[in-house]
Amino acid sequence: ELPPSEFMQVADSTWLVLSVVSNGREPPGCQATGVTKIARSVIAPLAEHHVSVLMLSTYQTDFILVRERDLPVVIHTLAGEFDIYKEESGECVPVTSDDVSNGFLKPKPSASPMLHPVQSPQTRFCVLTVAPDTLPAIATMLIDVLFYSHSPPWDAATSSQDLDSITFFSFSLIEGYISIVMDAETQKRFPSDLLLTSSTGELWRMVRIGGQPLGFDECGIVAQIAEPLAAADISAYYISTFNFDHALVPEEGIAEVIQLLQQRQESGR
């Protein structure tokens, strides 16, 4: 419904959402599975079959977005290990490889993925949620932070070096659940009694992937980050955007994460 505009870029694809849960479907109380836990079983196999993914972590769960045209390859790739369901009229209906066999094209062997530079700004971030009924109380502040607060201009020269700080604010509203990522300084502008976080109140550090806009045709970007973190049993909160990918890790583990990713870069050369 948004009007056409010369200032708006739209990716030339329609995307579908995959949610991976612990027993293959999603009954009440089922525990969702995070990005590093599905690195080997979902993210890496899709990259090997040349399927590009977008990753979106939220306070409640994690979602993988795949292009609609890649769905036959996705189902064929994952059906051996997962029970796959599609939602129809609010009901979960089983999907099998036979359902998509007519549209399945054997994937082409993918070349080794490009290893993108990884930057780690010093900014400390919070991962938060807010009760939907209290959202109006912070709506004005949200609008100010999203659209009117001043942020430093992006400079292409910064892409080749580590950033001291980064302006990053993420707000998602999915099926009534709200998830917010903001830096610790911005959090101070909001009423503390309305923003909810984990009982530990931990802070997160970011690694940003890509020295230039990544696009959507390349595969293996999420795997570049998720696989080494999964091997080290380090949790991550991952957000793909139009231009870059961002992984948030617990602050106390950032040194180990940087070391792991540097080793991955060196071994891939």
Instruction: Evaluate whether residue 9 is within a structural domain.
Output: no
**Percentage of residues in the chain with pLDDT exceeding 90?**
38
For residue 60, give the CATH number of its domain: 3.30.70
Give CA separation, 103 vs 3, 76, 80, 97, 198, in Å. 34, 11, 18, 10, 44
Range of the domain at 264: 118-268
Instruction: Evaluate whether residue 7 is within a structural domain.
Output: no
List Cβ<8 Å contacts ≥24 apart for 85-88: 85/24, 85/25, 85/26
Residues 242 and 152 placed together within one structural domain of the fold: yes
Per-residue pLDDT at 133:
93
- Minimum mean pLDDT range among 84-93, 171-180, 181-190, 247-256: 84-93
Residues 127 and 259 placed together within one structural domain of the fold: yes
User: Number of structural domains, the chain?
Assistant: 2
pLDDT confidence of 165, banded at 50, 70, 90? confident
Looking up tokens 């290893």 gives: 115
Phi-psi region of 222 (alpha: psi -120 to 50; beta: other; left: phi over 0): alpha
Per-residue pLDDT at 247:
92
pLDDT confidence of 241, banded at 50, 70, 90? confident
Q: pTM for this one? A: 0.81
Q: Residue 136 pLDDT more than 80? A: yes
Residues 227 and 161 placed together within one structural domain of the fold: yes
Residues 90 and 126 placed together within one structural domain of the fold: no
Q: Residue 26 pLDDT more than 50? A: no
Residues 167 and 257 placed together within one structural domain of the fold: yes
| H or E segment to which residue 141 belongs | helix 135-143
Q: Residue 28 pLDDT more than 50? A: no
Q: What is the pLDDT of residues 98-132, one digit of tens each?
A: 655 544 455 555 555 567 778 899 999 999 999 99
Residues 166 and 50 placed together within one structural domain of the fold: no
What mean pLDDT is reported for the chain?
81
> Two tokens at 179?
């998830």
How many Å apart are CA 225 and CA 241, to the nearest integer?
A: 15
